[in-house]
Amino acid sequence: MNLAELSTIAAIILSTAACPPAGHGDLQASVHRKVIASARGEPVSISCRPPAVDRPSRPMIRTANVSIRAEHPAVAFHQVTAETRRREGYVAQARQYEKGASLTLRIPSSRLEEALCLLARLGEVTQLSINGNDVASQLETATARVEQLTRLQTTETTQQAFAHWLVTQLEAARREKQRLEDQIQLATIQVSIAVA
């Protein structure tokens, strides 16, 4: 085993160690089996059935990074875009080049593990990291701010200058709340596809 393989194994272990098992741990267990097999020098690929995902009890912004080696990157690229749409997601950014492609996907958070399993079937997964950022306090603050500013806006004693400031602040608070809710609802997956 060379240094690059050891680095890949270490990256996979470190990136998945902090991830709570979702859907009975199918994806995480598959990744750990891959790490062990790779350490033994065995050929590996992740295969998992789409798990039954429990929604996180707290608002989370979920992201993942996946690198895949595929025999035909152009075919894999089109499969990724089609499967993303089928799962009520969209391709936020895509770039195809001669020997590969890169994509940024937005997919419902509840379907993140399912999407990762499908991506793993396109070729050999060379890197995988899954992250979750608990934003409960930020969402709570944004929601409270919108409610407070809305109450202030409805009072009859609002003067014109204060009213303009209030409208500006309320719009900013609503945008921040909407941004957080969007990031919670749609997970982001960064995908890199290279020639096998």
Residue 68's H or E segment, with its range, is strand 60-70
Which two structure tokens, joined as six digits, stand for 19? 């991830």
Rounded Cα–Cα distance for residues 167 and 58 (Å): 30
- Compute, in degrees rounded to 10, the torsion defined by CA atoms 127, 130, 29, 45: -30
Domain ranges within the chain, ordered by starting residue: 3-134+185-195, 137-180
- Total residue length of the chain: 196
pLDDT tens digit at each of 196 positions of the chain: 444 444 444 444 334 333 333 443 454 455 545 544 544 555 444 445 444 444 557 888 999 999 999 999 999 999 999 999 998 999 999 999 888 999 999 999 989 989 999 898 889 999 999 988 888 889 898 888 888 877 777 666 557 667 778 788 888 889 999 988 888 888 888 888 888 7
Task: Note the pLDDT of residue 34.
Answer: 52
- Compute, in degrees rounded to 10, the torsion defined by CA atoms 56, 32, 50, 58: 0
